[in-house]
Amino acid sequence: MDRRIGVYICHCGLNIAGTVDVAEVARYAGTLDSVVISRDYRYMCSDVGQELIKKDIKELELNRVVVAACSPRMHELTFRNACRDAGLNPYLYEHANIREQCSWPHTDRELATNKAKALVRAAVRRVYYNEPLEVKEAPVNPNVLVVGGGIAGIQAALDIANGEHKVYLVEREPSIGGHMIQLDRTFPTLDCSECILTPKMTEVRQHPFINLLAYSEVEEVSGFVGKFKVKVRKKARFVDESKCTGCGVCEQKCPWKTDSEFEAGLAKRKAIYIPFPQAVPNIATIDKKLCVYFKTGKCRACEKFCEAGAIDFNQVDQIIEVEVGSIIIATGYDIFDPRLMPQYGYGRYDNILTGLEFERMTSAGGPTGGKVLLKNGKEPESVAIVHCVGSRDKNYHEYCSRVCCMYGLKYAHLLRELTKAEVYEMYIDMRSFGEGYEEFYERVSREGVNFIRGKVAEIAADPVDGKLIVYCTDTVIGKALRVCVDMVILCPALKARSDTEQVAKTFTINRRADGFFLERHVKLDPVATPTDGIFIAGCCEGPKDIPDTVAQASAAASKVLSLISKGRITLESAIATVDETRCLGCGRCEESCTFHAPKVVAKNGVMVSEINETLCKGCGTCAVVCPSGAMSIKHFTRQQITSVVEALTEA
Amino acid sequence: MELSYYPGCTLKTRAKNFEDSAIASIAALGVNLKELPRWNCCGAVYSLADDDLIHQLAPVRDLIRVKEQGQGKVVVLCSLCFNTLKRANMLMRNNAEKRGTLNSFMDEEVDYNGEVEVVHLLEVLRDDIGWKTVSDRLKVPLKNLKLAPYYGCMLLRPKEVAIDQVERPTILHQLLRALGAEPIDFPFATKCCGAFQAVGNREVALESAWNILSSAVSWQAEALVLSCPLCDFNLAGKQEELKQKYREFKGIPTLYFTQLLALAFGLDSKVCRFELNYQDPQPLLESKGLL
């Protein structure tokens, strides 16, 4: 059939027309082989621009279309759909990028115009060889995997499960709850963190649509949106979950102690333990590294006293395979280790606490029963709160951790309420941006708190009385200060989890320079990732407070729910295809494919490769390794690629 | 082992006690410090003015002297000289434009591209000799001596030239421990001694000295350990004034770390040239049975 090609050059206002002579490019395009019509228009992506194409397809009987405009990431789909609406197969459309790859980076009008011509020429040559492709769809598995059982994971899991879709919630620790369950009160309303979180945790436990896999980790993910296969390692607790009643007798009898993670090291836990009273699931776990039975073969005290007979020293890790259609990652954050800033003396001097340690101290259920106490058991008479420890600091983390100002203010308020201490708040800038936050700052500043605007340089301990001396510049009055206090609370940065790299690999998602997971678009697609069907929520995407985390979790859940409610996904049409007359059946394609799409099978007594069309992503690896040239990728045939290269290398 | 050594002006005059004790004690460890021929002033302070290239000539010429010796490394004792030479060396390594200008200005010299390594004697002790070798050579362990290691600024700032962790250095602590002494941790170990403010702004320099000395005293230090003649001038040379200003201040001796090395190695105390110390450390050392 004769090729009848229409070419459209977009001005994009002055974005393209400012640098490229669009009229000249359109004139030039009109001289190319098989081009029937060539136009330039101010905004091709507008309804009017699209109508122009549709009208030409009908009136001029176009059977190929090229638009030269912005990046195909922006509008390729727009124009493919316009072609489809006019009855043209969308794969008979070709997109030339003359904005990001031409007008924006260049300044010389003549050279840029020449380059635009070359790009248009390449697209016109290519579209000549384009073939119509069939667009296929596949069903979406309505099951969902949520990774991480902090507030983000809990919220996302509940939102989806309440829509009566099955959720597998995987949590690495023995209990869900995350960092939020460790917090005492939440700013700015001062409601108790436990009190608002535990009902949600119980709901997770009891929800008929949630399968909670606590003390488990995702080991391997394969497949693609709509059809992921996930291997989860359920770590051995050495306690039979079906028998354990959570009575806690084993904990009382166990003679071996270590620092409690939940109490941020302010209290001890046993080798067999339930991390905290409201744990979900409320099941004991044996810490294999600490348990003496695993080292010497003796003890078994817990087993002797367990009435339910739940202890099982022979338990081994289990690998559970689940199939899901979408995944939400909500793996949270780590806290910056203030020991990396030795000038702050954390770990060397007594009574220097991190924020999390102080949270446990003021918590009514915490190790001090909610009392603020120094190491010597006395109440502090003066406390300094040091902001931005490892945040907003080029030497550690350049970003702002976003929650420290507010919890710092909360500490000041609690200290004024619970003790008679003089409180010093040492901050760089006070960032109180959320709902009710500025009002809370205003309130605390009327409570007799000393605000010192300046970064703390150093903290030393007096050799005689052990008091802490905080060296700081008050930038408001321009003076260096030495503030003598009994206690210092450091506000360490929220940082990406130390194993973020590994997690990113497992799920094939990316990280930003600051270590957190990369969103698909920072403003317009903040919970999606570049990998279809995988979403992120909460602090794994960057530091944020509880309201923002919950909002993001619900956003991710709604993205997943719309995938489920549509129920099908469009499969990639540009996939591998085998020329069976040339295939040697060597199997190299099978070895090279990460998606397991090709398989060598016997056909009419000959071994040939066969492509599973739902698995193939069209990456092209098989076509490269194929020694006989039997394998090719639809829409990226040798002829199509060569035509582009030739067109671009022509003088 | 023989190492090329740059003394600088003060070590030949007021701080001869630093140089003599260093050469003798390092020799006791089998290292010969060979003085650089035809060395000139280091420039005294690294010029921060962007277009002030003329001030870089002096340190770069010294580095060219080292290159001419066929030496890859030059050892410096004075903290100020160390800082000035190392930063000039960094400039020659990293800034091609300024390197070109300086090299073409000094057309009588060979071209210099930052080939030489500038190291402080403390780095030689830590990295080339090792604390264990130092301890093994010990004759008179400095027992019962509580010392305040004072680093000042020039060994640590800017961080690109630092010989140790900038915020909480330990290299002097490690040396003192290797010598059997007890180093204390005091918060003013890296604070400015007052430096050149001693010339135009005496009160500021005095206040700096007082902060450092009183802090060391309150941490029960018996002496300060230094590696910089200018620090010594501000911290020890001004103590008589401080005693008048602060009646409770009884004074505290200062020592170069090399004098302690010589003592601990059991060398003749004459190499320490204690008569040049502003505050005589000998009564303290005698009371500890070290002299």
Question: A564 with A325: CB under 8 angstroms?
Answer: yes
pLDDT given at position A616: 87
Assigned token pair, B2: 């023989």
Q: How far apart are CA B120 and CA B126, in angstroms?
A: 10
Q: Which of A468, A469, A493 is nearest to A481 (CA)?
A: A469
- How many Cα atoms within 13 Å fall on the side-chain side of residue A162? 12
Assigned token pair, A392: 């907003």
Residue A289 CB partners (closer than 8 Å, separation 6+): none
Torsion angle in degrees (nearest 10) through CA of B107, B108, B114, B118: -150
Exposed, middle or buried by CB within 10 Å (0-12, 13-18, 19+), for B100?
A: exposed
Angle ∠(A291,A292,A296) on CA atoms, nearest 5: 140
CATH classification number, A334-495, choose in 3.50.50.60, 3.30.70.2740, 3.40.50.800, 3.40.30.10: 3.50.50.60
Select from A341, A463, A469 the Cβ nearest to the Cβ of B220: A463
pLDDT given at position B51: 87
pLDDT given at position B64: 97
Class of domain A5-133: alpha beta
Q: How far apart are CA B182 and CA B144, in angstroms?
A: 7
Write down the residue that tokens 């790009």 correspond to.
A119
- The 10s digit of each residue's pLDDT in B169-196 is 999 999 999 999 999 989 899 999 999 9
Question: Which region holds residue A17: left if phi is over 0, alpha if psi is between -120 and 50, else beta?
Answer: alpha
Mean pLDDT, chain B, whole residue set: 95
Q: Which of A437, A459, A451 is nearest to A389 (CA)?
A: A459
Return residue ranges of chain A for CATH 3.30.70.20: 576-634
Q: Is B90 helix (H, G, I), strand (E, B) or coil?
A: helix
Question: A631 with A623: CB under 8 angstroms?
Answer: yes
Q: How confident is the model at residue B151 (pLDDT cuts 50, 70, 90)?
A: very high
pLDDT given at position A343: 93
pLDDT given at position A613: 86
Mean pLDDT, chain A, whole residue set: 95
pLDDT given at position A570: 87
Whether residue B186 lies within 8 A of chain A, CB to CB, comes out as yes
Write down the residue that tokens 């709604």 correspond to.
A558
Facing residues of A329 across strands? A147, A536
Residue of B nearest to A460 (CA): B187
Select from A342, A348, A463 the Cβ nearest to the Cβ of B218: A463
Question: Which residue ranges make up each domain of chain B?
Answer: 2-121, 140-287
Q: Is B125 helix (H, G, I), strand (E, B) or coil?
A: helix
Whether residue B220 lies within 8 A of chain A, CB to CB, comes out as yes
CB contact under 8 A, A343 and B218: no
For residue A69, count other CB atoms closer than 10 A to its CB. Answer: 27
Q: How far apart are CA B66 and CA B39, in angstroms?
A: 9
What CATH code would you report for A236-316? 3.30.70
Residue A32 CB partners (closer than 8 Å, separation 6+): A5, A7, A120, A121, A124
Torsion angle in degrees (nearest 10) through CA of B74, B78, B83, B88: -50
> Distance, in angstroms, between A343 CA and closest chain B CA?
6
CB contact under 8 A, A341 and B167: yes
Question: A358 with A254: CB under 8 angstroms?
Answer: no
pLDDT over 90 (residue B77): yes
Torsion angle in degrees (nearest 10) through CA of A539, A544, A545, A549: -50
- The 10s digit of each residue's pLDDT in A41-69 is 999 999 999 999 999 999 999 999 999 99
pLDDT given at position B112: 96
Assigned token pair, A498: 């130390």
pLDDT over 90 (residue A184): yes
What CATH code would you report for B2-121? 1.20.1050.140
CB contact under 8 A, A469 and B165: no
pLDDT given at position A429: 97
pLDDT over 80 (residue A598): yes
Whether residue A481 lies within 8 A of chain B, CB to CB, comes out as no
Q: How far apart are CA B136 and CA A512, in angstroms?
A: 50
Burial track B20-30 (b if 16+ CB lie within 10 A, e otherwise): bbbbbbbebbe
Return residue ranges of chain A for CATH 3.50.50.60: 137-234+318-332+503-566, 334-495
% of chain A with per-residue pLDDT over 90: 94
Taken in order A115, A119, A120, A124, the sign of the CA dihedral is: positive
pLDDT given at position A69: 97
Residue B35 CB partners (closer than 8 Å, separation 6+): B5, B7
Q: How far apart are CA A244 and CA A307, in angstroms?
A: 9
Q: How far apart are CA A62 and CA A2, in angstroms?
A: 10
Q: Is A137-234+318-332+503-566 assigned to CATH 3.50.50.60? A: yes
CB contact under 8 A, B187 and A341: no
> Distance, in angstroms, between A200 CA and closest chain B CA?
45
- The 10s digit of each residue's pLDDT in A194-242 is 999 999 999 999 999 999 999 999 999 988 899 999 999 999 999 999 9
| Chain A residues closer than 8 Å to B185 by CB | 348
Q: How far apart are CA A572 and CA A227, in angstroms?
A: 14
Q: How far apart are CA A425 and CA A441, in angstroms?
A: 11
pLDDT given at position A615: 80
Q: How far apart are CA B174 and CA A7, in angstroms?
A: 75
> Distance, in angstroms, between A509 CA and closest chain B CA?
35
DSSP secondary structure letter of residue B127: I
> Distance, in angstroms, between A423 CA and closest chain B CA?
23
pLDDT over 80 (residue A1): no
Write down the residue that tokens 């009008």 correspond to.
A109
Residue A545 CB partners (closer than 8 Å, separation 6+): A187, A402, A403, A406, A434
CB contact under 8 A, B219 and A463: yes
> Distance, in angstroms, between A459 CA and closest chain B CA?
8
Facing residues of B4 across strands? B34, B74
Write down the residue that tokens 């939400």 correspond to.
A328
Whether residue B170 lies within 8 A of chain A, CB to CB, comes out as no
CB contact under 8 A, A462 and B165: no
Question: A59 with A116: CB under 8 angstroms?
Answer: no
Over range A314-322, report the average pLDDT: 97
Beta strand A534-536 with B223-226 is: unpaired
One-letter amino acid for residue A118 of the chain = A
Q: Give whole-number Cα distances, A477 to A267, A480, A485, B195, B197, in Å.
A: 41, 9, 21, 25, 23
Q: Is A576-634 assigned to CATH 3.30.70.20? A: yes
CATH classification number, B140-287, choose in 3.40.30.10, 3.20.190.10, 3.40.50.11810, 3.40.50.1220: 3.40.50.11810
Window 348-387 of A: residues touching B by CB (8 A cutoff) are: 348
pLDDT over 90 (residue A130): yes
Beta strand A191-192 with A185-186 is: antiparallel
Over range B155-162, report the average pLDDT: 95
pLDDT over 70 (residue A651): no
Q: How confident is the model at residue A344 (pLDDT cuts 50, 70, 90)?
A: very high
Question: A536 with A529: CB under 8 angstroms?
Answer: yes
Q: How confident is the model at residue A135 (pLDDT cuts 50, 70, 90)?
A: confident
